[in-house]
Structure 1
Amino acid sequence: MTHAAFTLTDEMNQAISAFFQRIPFNQSLGITIDHLSTESVRMSLPMKPELIGNFVHGILHGGVIATILDVSGGAMALIGAFERHQHLDSNERMARLSKLGTIDLRIDYLRPGRGQSFTANAVMLRSGNKVAVVRSELHSDDGTLIAVGTGTYLCG
Structure 2
Amino acid sequence: MTKQEVIKAIEGLSERELKAIIQTLNALSIMKENRYPFLGNFLGVTEEKSEQPDEFVCSMPISRQILNPYRIVYGGITATLADMAMGWMLEKRISDKDKFVTLEMNVRYHKAGTGKKLTATARVIHQAQDIWQMACHVHNDRGELIVTATGTFLQLRRNKD
* Structure-2 separation of matches of 1:80 and 1:140: 24
- Once residues 132 and 55 of structure 2 are traced to their aligned partners in structure 1, the CA distance between those partners, rounded to angstroms, is 14
Please point out which of 73, 76, 96 is paired with 1:60.
73
Structure 1 runs of 4+ with >4 Å offset: none
SS at match of 2:49: strand
1:22 deviation in Å? 1.7
Q: Is the 8 A contact 1:125 1:135 kept in 2?
A: yes
**Contiguous gaps of at least 5 residues in structure 2:** 1-31, 157-161
Q: 1:21 to 1:52 in 2, by over 3 A?
A: farther
CA distance, structure 2, for counterparts of residue 109 and residue 25 of structure 1: 22
Equivalent position SS for 1:60 = coil
Distance 1:28 1:129 in 2: 33
| 1:92-107 → structure 2 map (5 Å cutoff) | 94=97, 97-98=98-99, 100-107=100-107
Question: Are 1:32 and 2:64 counterparts?
Answer: no
Shift of 1:21: 5.1
Distance change >3 Å, CA 130–CA 80, structure 1 → 2: farther
Q: How many residues align?
A: 124
Q: What is the RMSD computed on CA atoms of the aligned residues?
A: 2.2
More relative contact order in 1 or in 2 (CA 8 Å, sep 6+)? 1
Larger radius of gyration: 2
1:69 to 62, 82, 97: 82
Name the CA distance, whole Å, in 2 between partners of 1:42 and 1:123.
9
Identity of aligned residues (%): 24
Partner of 1:44: 59
The Cα of 1:129 is off from its aligned counterpart by: 1.6
Contact 1:38 1:80 in 2 (8 A): no
Q: Distance in 1 between matches of 2:94 and 2:129?
A: 8
Give the corresponding residue for 2:91. 78
Residues 1:123 and 2:123 aligned together: yes
Aligned position for 2:22: none
For residue 79 of structure 1, report the CA deviation from its aligned partner: 4.5
**One-letter code aligned to 2:46:** T
CA contact (8 A) 1:125 1:134 kept: yes
Change (3 A) 1:69 1:48: same
TM-score norm. by structure 2 comes to 0.70
Name the SS of the counterpart of 1:155 in structure 2.
strand
Change (3 A) 1:60 1:115: same
1:148 Cα deviation from its structure 2 partner: 0.4
